[in-house]
Amino acid sequence: ARSLTFREFQACGTPDYHGVKDLIVSRRSLEDVVNAFRTNTFPEGAKYKLSSCLLKDKARDWREEVWRVVGDEVVDSMTRDDL
């Protein structure tokens, strides 16, 4: 299986998420990402990393803190259910 780039993932129309505390905005953003995974072939292990790169501003700060605390090895094995 070939590796996919973040640029290819973004080409699926996945939106950036800026940590807006609005349930509708958050749900729509998550559903757009889930739909991109449903309609394309991405390796299971790459999904968390690809989708986490869509986090910006406060959401990105949260992601970076999680990565710092748990380490790369744990992050590499994370799934959506772990969140």
Own/partner contacts of 50-58, CB < 8 Å, gap of 24 or more, are: 50/4, 50/6, 50/9, 51/14, 51/80, 53/6, 53/9, 54/14, 54/15, 54/16, 54/17, 54/29, 55/16, 55/17, 55/19, 56/16, 56/17, 56/18, 56/19, 57/18, 57/19, 58/18, 58/19
Overall pTM > 0.75: no
- Indicate if the pLDDT at residue 9 is higher than 60: yes
Looking at residue 82, its pLDDT comes to 67
Kindly state the average pLDDT of the residues 30-45. 86
Q: In the chain, pLDDT over 70 holds for what percent of residues?
A: 90
pLDDT tens for residues 21-36? 899 998 998 899 989 8
pLDDT tens for residues 45-69? 788 888 888 999 988 998 899 889 9
- The overall average pLDDT reported for the chain is 84
